[in-house]
Structure 1
């Protein structure tokens, strides 16, 4: 009793608690109903508010106030009439994104006329909603508002009602979401979320094709250029560790999948998550969980591990709105009301039971409840006890601490040896496993099923690629792999992913062992996942804006491995560069090649020009190019590294400087979440210069130059003069590009020079020792460009 009293006193003095609300579920159901009062006229003289530099003004028209919550709070209204939205954009990179998406190169700020508006808020005082008067019934369902919310949940997995219900229980929380109908751009959505690392976002919302036009820190958290400075981590909770018990003995309902003819299983999970509170007075927490998980219970876990009080939670069943969707689709947010608000620094433990169908694996992060905005930079421990049938075997991360036979099957318990960025596991029916040990390398375990078209031969057939890639990267990056064992498991999926010491690769790649695949495809795919043990785990990324440091670096590392290890590797390397260049410049020249991803190349020039840059991560995608993120982070990211390598090699006459930069990047920041600025700083140490122009153009910009050139030679004393005329188009003024020029003298003799193209037309006069037979500007796709 004394402990409870002391805790209550601490809470009362540590923060101002929000008023005691009714049940989370009760308020949520009220909000979900989308009931509004009859519309009334906007007050004479208009009505408006400002938040984080964004200004909203309502002139003439009508407003319909939303039905109040149990605390009497009005959390929204619908407006029709003449309104205006204005916002300044100090961040030059974000302003360029806004101009691209809005297709207005002259835009200096957001200034839009509004004819309809739906406003939702957890902070009615900031908006001054009391100036609109008290709502008066009768309340009735507003069809337009209800449709907007349904679309947000279906197409964006955004449950505004759950977020507002949570905010009523979180001290100091502010949340505003404003949907605005504009004549120029259709529906735009402005969101201010106090609990997001970047609080401000402007989205163009269309069914199935959302575009993130702006993302900004609040003004007091921006640097002097207007750029965001907030670390990418959840504002409510920090993960500490998870203990998961999952039973996969029951069959699932889905069809057989993959080359291994995998039958899905129904996973029954009981998970205890331990978290550290990051927000004083949080009476609710926002978690992320796979949208295919059906949550049954949430409870508080006591200090002794005993089950405490049951906790309320809400999670919207998205499939209930649309029979065309999978029946088990939920919103990916899980909102939980705490029985006692938590204090900053306090550790809490929550228990969860849920079910979801699995193929033969659980992918990184999504299968256990993590803080909503947690990325790959918040390490946590993991213990998972997997109960499987006796004809199955399981592989988790870390070490196998026990394997116990029971009447219901086998319980395999895996525990990480140290905190990890993300956890995963794989199971296999009729399993095959083989281990490989070589001095100086971690033990490599190949693991998969022998069902379907999979076989022991195929599972083992990839071992040489994995072992050679590990050996190559350890030498190249000057750093041993972090795990003493690397488990490579085959999953019924079209993709691969790498956890720390557990690599999951698509079993479709097993077809390559039969010789039907083009040389280099299999090796590059596997090497990419191996490279993530460095780019992704030894170094994780600071925010979504820096994810290319994982994917682009892993992609280029895989290309280097292919070039170094395969017969004809240099030709394959060149083929990959050509394929990526064609994709990014809109050429169909490589559309049917082995390394082609032609989705971006097939869209028209206007649509390509709307795509965002590498430095916007997933926000690079557009309605016309939903796969733009992979084109930017993977393919263009690899091309950026290649261009940097070419410049450094031409300057220093070898590749050693480039690889020294990579090695020092790993050594300097091992175990850290890194940013593009961190990489630029390491580069500047080894190649002293201001490299801002390079990253501004290629990482934060989207332009790709078009080059044409002509050349001639003139006798010059005892040698020759090369006169090179270059034209550069499709880039803004001030662009500069170092481009290699190769002179072929015949007889196997050639030389390379580097020229700086920094104007639309430029003539270079270069001295040569002999008359060249051929001159090639930008040889071997050294610079990402369209050549005419």
Structure 2
């Protein structure tokens, strides 16, 4: 196995304008050196008693103790250490976040006593405190020095945050600083609580959700820390919260990449980007956490420099001059990394499929021009359209252009066989799989026949189904490649499919899995998700799309409703093997935060509950006389058309839903997306003959939900003779009694909530 160590050698080429030669600008590398080596300042020590500092929804009460400030940099003090007695108070502004706080701390309001406090800031904290303090010159005690050193290391190790580079962003900012701008300064607190658990409080105007609270976990926990709460600053809930916090737009990547069979990658990357803010000099990029940057012994202050620490999740580029908004810039980066590894059978797998090149943000879209140099004995596939292919010596060169703006770019390499499937009017599907691997595996494990054809057929047929249901696919091809993992992953025009789906066929499960990844061409790529709160618009939609395709292609309602029943069981009761608590873990809107030390519920709620939400909308729009999905498809096509090439939020999708339902659907989203309640319906009914008709009286008791919880539930009246009728009834209070419209024949039975139409438990009462 190759070592998972990345070595990056960054060479930066920049056309430096006249402003770059401004000698009055601070040297970014020197300022960072000062920040990195900051010590406590003996001339700024203060004894404190009953001092209060408020930072948005957090309050720090310094009851008694001593404050040691850090040395100033560029005339600004950016941190302090406190030793003594204090109380940290924290009150989340929303019901969802109060629920989360209680899940982790057993209280909706946090009052934590602390004995040590480490603060870093570039906002007005220093001025707020010094107006109430009297400094004395004194010796800095050893414990305070240790806190200063340990806290900086802890921020990087536990949270992956380099506080010095974050401070550098603000200290070097040369634009206008206005109230509400991104450059008003950040605030970070490392709090040692009396129970020895550490809390981390962050207020950062550059984050979409400016306020966050973390808590570290015991050494044996599955995660090092939990994000307990994350939300917008107080004023946003009154005035609206702008989601756009990006400072640059990464327009285009031009890369040359060389891959070797020993796992080594060497690459040059020219990034063309447009600054969106005047005056920035520091741009953060992220890459795989194993990245190590080799620094030159001498760096020219007139050129861009890169800064990163070992273990950091990325690096920063420091420009020698302030960037101007809307003025195109180019950045050239050369790197090398050990990015490929192999399994026992010699199949390659990519250590990081999405972070092998410098990234700004996660959801921003770029175009790509990629030239790969690979050993010619291996087949190679990339995102984009292959423009040219040639060989030189033992290497294969391929040139790819990807003009569809995409969030990610990836590739695959291996001893692949190729199978192509083409039907008139549809994109070409090209499958890459390792036939030799599966022939060897068939000696030990069960193997299906013609698996390459089955995979290709499902990819092609699901493409056709989704084009009819969601709208046109934008490319003329779709690559499906085998990877030695148990999961799948989708890129624009390129699928990574698990080796398991090439090995054996398990009806419904494999069709659904393959179609799930195909569906990401619409849900995730054509229509992206805005923040982690909206990931269900990608994963939940793809999960349901896969099951819907399997239902349609196999004509197997029993399997389809069995899948829904399985999802319901996981959502209501959790999933022990996954470590899932189900719905009580929180609303599906919490996205990735649903995985924590308390439970692992991202899959159960984002995938399965997200899919169930879409299923409920489908059934609410369905014509039960014809079982037509035309209205449902029209809604999803409208969603794709409206947000094509954009990132949509949950509220964006709600607007589309309301347009097609013709009514306010706030109640639906509050219950199913932002809520955790799952109803239980206990129903009974009676029938009586009236003239030549039969009357049905239905009684329903609604349990386990709030009194105002409501849902429209289908009811099937099955006749003793052949046939049935379907009605819809509103259950909108704890107990309802409904008289159904008279029916023409004697009733055999009532089926309440057929077709798993509502995510609910159902019991027939007496």
TM bucket (normalised to shorter chain) is 0.7 to 0.9
Q: Matched residues in 2 for 1:21 and 1:357: separation?
A: 31
Aligned counterparts of 2:425 and 2:154: Cα–Cα separation in 1: 54
Q: How far apart, CA to CA, are the structure 2 residues paired with 1:186 and 1:127?
A: 30
The residue correspondences of 1:362-401 to structure 2 (distance < 5 A) are 365-371=354-360, 374-376=361-363, 378-401=364-387
SS of residue matched to 1:23? helix
Distance 1:432 1:340, change over 3 A: same
Match of 2:621 in 1: 648
| Aligned equivalent of 2:165 | 162
Superposed, 1:63-462 pairs within 5 Å as 63-66=67-70, 69=73, 73-87=77-91, 89=93, 91-104=94-107, 107=108, 113-123=113-123, 125=125, 128-130=128-130, 131=133, 133=135, 137-138=139-140, 140=142, 142-143=145-146, 146-171=149-174, 173=183, 174-182=185-193, 186-207=197-218, 208=223, 210-222=225-237, 228-231=241-244, 234=246, 236-251=247-262, 265-296=263-294, 311-317=304-310, 330-352=311-333, 353-359=335-341, 360=348, 365-371=354-360, 374-376=361-363, 378-407=364-393, 409-428=395-414, 430-453=415-438, 458-462=451-455
Task: Measure how far apart 1:415 and its partner are.
Answer: 1.6
Whole-angstrom distance in 2 between the partners of 1:58 and 1:394: 61
Are residue 766 (structure 1) and residue 743 (structure 2) matched?
A: no
Distance 1:38 1:743, change over 3 A: farther
The residue number in structure 2 matching 1:255 is none
- Structure 1 residues 8 and 249: alpha-carbon distance in aligned structure 2, compared to 1, 3 A threshold: closer
The match for 2:557 is 570
Q: Does structure 2 retain, via aligned residues, the 8 Å contact 1:381–1:419? A: yes
| 1:421-570 equivalences in 2 (<5 Å) | 421-428=407-414, 430-453=415-438, 458-477=451-470, 479-512=471-504, 515=505, 518-567=506-555, 569-570=556-557
Contact 1:36 1:139 in 2 (8 A): no
Contact kept, 8 Å, 1:555 with 1:634, in 2: the verdict is yes
Residue 724 (str. 1) matches residue 717 (str. 2): no
Residue 581 of structure 1: aligned partner: 568
What SS does the corresponding residue of 2:472 show, helix, strand or coil? coil
Per-residue deviation, 1:475: 1.3
Indicate how the Cα distance of structure 1 residues 187 and 587 shifts in structure 2: closer, same or farther if over 3 A, else same: closer
Cα distance change, pair 578–217 in 1 and its aligned pair in 2 (3 A): same
- The equivalent of 1:670 in structure 2 is 644
Matched residue SS, 1:495: coil
- Cα deviation for residue 458 of structure 1 reads 4.1
1:637 matched to 2:649: no
Distance 1:561 1:88, change over 3 A: closer
Counterpart CA distance in 2 for 1:79 and 1:61 is: 6
SS at match of 1:386: strand
For residue 573 of structure 1, give the secondary structure of its aligned residue in structure 2. helix
* Structure 2: segments with no counterpart, 5+ residues: 1-14, 178-182, 342-347, 441-448
Distance 1:22 1:387, change over 3 A: closer
SS for the counterpart of 1:417 is strand
Distance 1:710 1:581, change over 3 A: same
> Shift of the alpha carbon at 1:471?
0.9
- Whether the 8 Å CA contact 2:46–2:135 is kept in 1: the answer is no
Deviations 1:319-340, CA, capped at 9 Å, x for gaps: xxxxxxxxxxx32131232222
Q: Deviations over 1:676-709 (max 9, x none)?
A: 2222222222221111000011011112122322
Q: 1:355 to 1:689 in 2, by over 3 A?
A: same
- The C-alpha deviation readout for 1:654-683, integer Å capped at 9, x for no partner, is 432222211222223322222222222222
> How far did residue 639 of structure 1 move?
0.2
The 8 Å contact of residues 571 and 583 in structure 2, kept in 1 or not, is answered as no
Tell me how far 1:492 sits from its aligned partner.
Answer: 2.3
Q: 2:66 aligns to what?
A: 62
Distance 1:128-1:528 versus aligned 2 partners, 3 A rule: same
Query: Which residue of 585, 601, 616 corresponds with 2:590?
Result: 616
d(CA) in 2 for partners of 1:300, 1:773? 87
Which one is further off, 123-132 or 719-728?
123-132
Q: What is the CA-CA distance between 1:721 and the residue it aligns to?
A: 3.0
Change (3 A) 1:758 1:488: same
Provide the C-alpha distance between the structure 2 equivalents of 1:160 and 1:475, rounded to a whole number of angstroms: 50
Deviation at 1:81, TM superposition (A): 0.3
Tell me if the contact between 2:375 and 2:394 (Cα under 8 Å) persists in the aligned partners: yes
Residue 151 of structure 1, CA deviation: 4.4
- Whether the aligned pair in 2 keeps the contact of 1:583 and 1:600 (CA below 8 Å) is no
CA contact (8 A) 2:69 2:77 kept: no
**Post-superposition offset of 1:116:** 3.8
Q: 1:571: how far off?
A: 1.3
Mapped to 1, the partners of 2:137 and 2:168 lie a distance apart of 19
CA distance in 1, matches of 2:559, 2:366: 40
Displacement of 1:39 after TM fit?
A: 11
Give how far 1:293 is off: 3.0
What is the CA-CA distance between 1:556 and the residue it aligns to?
1.0
Structure 1 match to 2:19: 7
Q: Secondary structure at the match of 2:542?
A: helix
Provide Cα deviations, 1:46-95, integer angstroms capped at 9, x if missing partner.
Answer: 33333345433322223344455576734232343022424461x45444
Distance 1:49 1:473, change over 3 A: same
Instruction: Give the TM-score taking structure 2 as reference length.
Output: 0.85
Q: State how far apart, in whole Å, the 2-side matches of 1:748 and 1:76 are.
A: 80
Q: Deviation string for 1:203-244 (max 9, x for gaps)? A: 3332525333332333454455xx64423x53x322111122
SS at match of 1:341: coil
Contact 2:169 2:280 in 1 (8 A): no
Q: 1:717 to 1:623 in 2, by over 3 A?
A: farther
Do the aligned residues in 2 keep the contact of 1:209 with 1:622 (CA within 8 Å)? no
Q: Aligned in 2, Cα 1:123/1:433: closer, same or farther, shift over 3 Å?
A: same
Question: Conserved in 2, the CA contact under 8 Å of 1:179 and 1:190?
Answer: yes
1:782 aligns with 2:757: yes
Q: Distance in 2 between matches of 1:111 and 1:346?
A: 48
In the alignment, structure 1 residue 27 sits paired with structure 2 residue 7: no
Contact 1:77 1:120 in 2 (8 A): no
In structure 2, what is the Cα distance between the partners aligned to 1:475 and 1:347?
40
Other structure's SS at 1:663 match: helix
